[in-house]
């Protein structure tokens, strides 16, 4: 059995490759929920949905979120009522949020609803939210006048397009959150635990912040392998660089290694970063060099195999 710690797009692309080289039902993906947000009364779980839709082969090919062949008539219609529509929700995607929200209101835990949604999409990989409790990323930014403001993740990322410089990142609710059922057991029992190429600060960070998870990983350190989401000093997609830099972490595979070193024995770094292998090793993490830019599922599958071999 394999465990994968997952954010959204980077993780989903990796997982699509992983399930080509191991039976999909042997994989448990533990997914970040600190980006979750309520829009128009509906609970939206971007990372859970990105992983589910991608494993179902139904994801939007370019966008990095939502479903392929989406239309946006409902969200556009909401502008008539003056509703905030900066967070785009597709018409088909809305069905997922309607269904999930109704189930949550009726008292079902998020983990149960998530499993049912995955089943409905024919996904046999186990998809588990990191916790059933509410955890929410809060990003403190500096305004041009020097004042500080605390934004929710989607406000900073989507509404403000990551423009305001970051001062601090916190995970509201994490201290009292409990790991979702099966999370700690899966980490303890896994042959290999993969830290997917996801944002280290706001995708992997919240999972580690759920009490018990970090310790469970530390106990399995020799079986934990990460994949660097940073290639040649830049992100492939998303704001990891705009978070790592201000938080004092080098924007490189070496910075990722420093953050992961306490719980991760091995890090797959990109061929373009082969020259940094010694610096990675100096953090106490064993570097493995491979092609990590997942241009298609075939590359992702080869990368997944590299990651598995690295700690075999
Ligand atoms: P998000 O929640 O959708 O932002 O998703 P993640 O946190 O899972 O993914 C964002 C991270 O994935 C970014 O830091 C990207 O650099 C990284 N990423 C995306 N595609 C690739 C890829 O093909 N290769 C690698 N190595 N990293 C990638
Ligand atoms: Ca995300």
State pLDDT tens for residues 2-22.
Answer: 999 999 999 999 999 999 999
How far is ligand 2, taken at its centre, from the CA of residue 278, in Å? 31
- Confidence class for position 61, pLDDT limits 50, 70, 90: confident
Average pLDDT rounded to a whole number, residues 238-254:
96
- Give ligand 1 pocket residues (Cβ under 6 A): 7-11, 13, 47, 50, 64, 197-199, 203, 227-229, 231, 235-238, 240, 292-294
- The answer to whether the beta carbons of residues 137 and 35 sit under 8 Å apart is yes
CA distance 134 to 218: 24
pLDDT band at 64 (very low <50, low <70, confident <90, very high): confident
Q: Is the per-residue pLDDT at 214 higher than 90?
A: yes
Calculate how far, in angstroms, residue 218's C-alpha sits from the geometric centre of ligand 2: 24
Rounded to an integer, the average pLDDT of 259-281 is 98
Half-sphere exposure of 1 (CA within 13 A, CB side): 13
CA–centroid distance, 2 to ligand 1, in Å, is 20
How far, CA to CA in Å, does 35 sit from each of 82, 83, 211, 285?
24, 21, 18, 28
> Containing H/E element for 229?
none
The residue count for the chain? 312
Is the pLDDT score of 72 beyond 90? yes
pLDDT confidence tier of residue 50, bands split at 50, 70 and 90? very high
The reported pLDDT for the residue numbered 311 is 96
| The two structure tokens encoding residue 44 | 């939206």
**Residue 13: per-residue pLDDT:** 97
**CA pair distance 202, 198, nearest whole angstrom:** 9
In this predicted structure, what is the pLDDT of residue 34?
98
Beta strands in the chain (DSSP E): 2-6, 27-31, 37-39, 42-44, 126-129, 136-142, 148-152, 166-172, 192-195, 224-227, 230-231, 234-235, 266-270, 286-290
- For the domain spanning 1-312, the CATH number is 3.40.50.10680
Q: State the pLDDT confidence band at 36, using cuts at 50, 70 and 90.
A: very high
Give residue 303's pLDDT. 98
Q: Which of 231, 237, 239, 273 to mutate to test the pocket of ligand 1 (most atoms within 8 A of CB)?
A: 237
Question: What's the CA-to-centroid distance between 173 and ligand 2, angstroms?
Answer: 17
pTM over 0.95: yes
Query: Encoding tokens for residue 309?
Result: 């071999």
Would you tell me how many other CB atoms lie within 10 Å of the CB of residue 133? Answer: 17
């Amino acid at each position: 059995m394999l465990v994968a710690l997952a954010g959204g797009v980077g993780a989903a692309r990796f997982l699509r490759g992983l399930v080509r080289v191991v039976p999909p039902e042997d994989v448990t993906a533990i997914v970040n929920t600190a980006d979750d947000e309520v829009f128009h009364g509906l609970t939206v779980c971007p990372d859970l949905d990105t992983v589910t839709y991608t494993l179902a082969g139904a994801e939007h090919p370019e966008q990095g979120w939502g479903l392929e062949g989406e239309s946006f008539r409902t969200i556009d219609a909401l502008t008539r009522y003056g509703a905030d529509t900066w967070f785009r929700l597709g018409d088909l995607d809305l069905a997922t949020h309607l269904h999930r929200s109704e189930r949550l209101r009726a008292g079902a835990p998020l983990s149960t609803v998530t499993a049912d949604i995955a089943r409905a999409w024919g996904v046999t990989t186990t998809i588990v939210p990191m916790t059933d409790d509410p955890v929410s990323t809060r990003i403190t930014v500096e305004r041009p006048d020097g004042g500080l403001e605390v934004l929710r993740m989607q406000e900073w990322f989507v509404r403000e397009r990551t423009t305001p410089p970051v001062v601090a990142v916190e995970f509201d609710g994490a201290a009292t959150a409990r790991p979702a059922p099966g999370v700690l057991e899966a980490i303890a029992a896994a042959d290999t635990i993969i830290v997917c190429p996801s944002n280290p600060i706001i995708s992997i960070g919240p999972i580690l912040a759920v009490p018990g998870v970090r310790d469970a990983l530390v106990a399995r350190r020799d079986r934990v392998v990460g994949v660097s989401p940073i290639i040649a000093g830049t992100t492939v997609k998303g704001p990891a660089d705009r978070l790592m830099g201000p938080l004092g972490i080098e924007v490189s595979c070496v910075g990722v290694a420093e953050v992961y070193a306490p719980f991760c024995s091995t890090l797959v770094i990109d061929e373009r970063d082969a020259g940094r292998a010694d610096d990675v090793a100096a953090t106490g993490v064993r570097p493995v060099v491979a092609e990590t830019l997942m241009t298609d599922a075939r590359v992702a599958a080869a990368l997944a195999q590299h990651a598995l071999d690295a700690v075999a």
